[in-house]
Amino acid sequence: MTGDPWADPATQTQPGSPYLGPPPTAPAVPYGYPPQYGQPAQPYGPPGQAEQGGYPNHPGYPGQPPQAGSPPAGHPGQPGSAQPKPRSSRKVLLLIAGLAVAAVVLLLVVVSGAFGGNPRDTADEFMAAIKAKDVDKAHSLLCKDGQEKETKEELRTDFDLDDRTVTSYTLGTESTRKREGKDETLIPVTISYDSGSDVRLDLGVWNEGGQKICSLNPPAG
């Protein structure tokens, strides 16, 4: 016999081969790069791919600094950046409207100054002062010649304001005439007194740096 029959066959060796024992088992190496100099094996792919699920060093991925030449964050055209709003025209419209109103007011002032106001308005203002027995106000509405010829006391007497009170008055339809080379507007007035009597007269109004009362006339026949 070439061997011990009682020996364990697994421990027997072939003729001429010393017993070396079972073959060594190679240590498991993870799939990827082989370990070098005792460093642990690296998984397949660039570092961080397994954890990040991609290429963290690729431009445009979160956490990476902007590349050279790229616009900074918040620059128009970048995601999330606010686009500049167009200038509102509200202020411009308000300015134009204000200028238009000012122009209309100025035009009215110029026209009023050119025509000297409304004779009917002056007649109404004069009679309102007479009704209120405000002789000073009524006298100030007389033309220059009228103020020189008619004193305040004479004006009071003409309208009998010491003994009676004007309760109402009515302005009629005006007419015009030439007097002393000027256009004079005659405005008929019906005056009612508290005594129950009515008086009629025509107020003569003309332009003298503004409309003024310049004559007190009996009613036109």
CA distance 63 to 57: 9
**Residue 178 CA: distances (Å) to CA of 132, 181, 182, 185:** 31, 6, 6, 9
Residue-wise pLDDT for 116-153, tens only, equals: 589 999 999 999 999 999 999 999 999 999 999 999 99
- The residue-averaged pLDDT of 161-165 equals 95
Residue-wise pLDDT for 187-205, tens only, equals: 999 999 999 999 999 999 9
Phi, psi (deg, nearest 5) at residue 165: -130, 135
Tokens for 80, please give them: 């999330």
**Coil, strand or helix: which one is 146?**
helix
CA distance 148 to 146: 5
Tokens for 7, please give them: 């020996």
- Output DSSP code: residue 32: B
Burial per residue of 21-54, b for 16 or more beta-carbon CB atoms within 10 angstroms, e otherwise: eeeeeeeeeeeeeeeeeeeeeeeeeeeeeeeeee
If you average pLDDT over every residue of the chain, what do you get?
73
Residue-wise pLDDT for 68-104, tens only, equals: 555 555 555 555 555 555 556 777 777 787 777 766 6
Beta bridge partners of 193: 166
- Give the domains, in start order, of the chain with CATH numbers: 119-217 (3.10.450.590)
Q: In the predicted model, is pLDDT for residue 7 greater than 60?
A: no
Phi, psi (deg, nearest 5) at residue 179: -145, 125
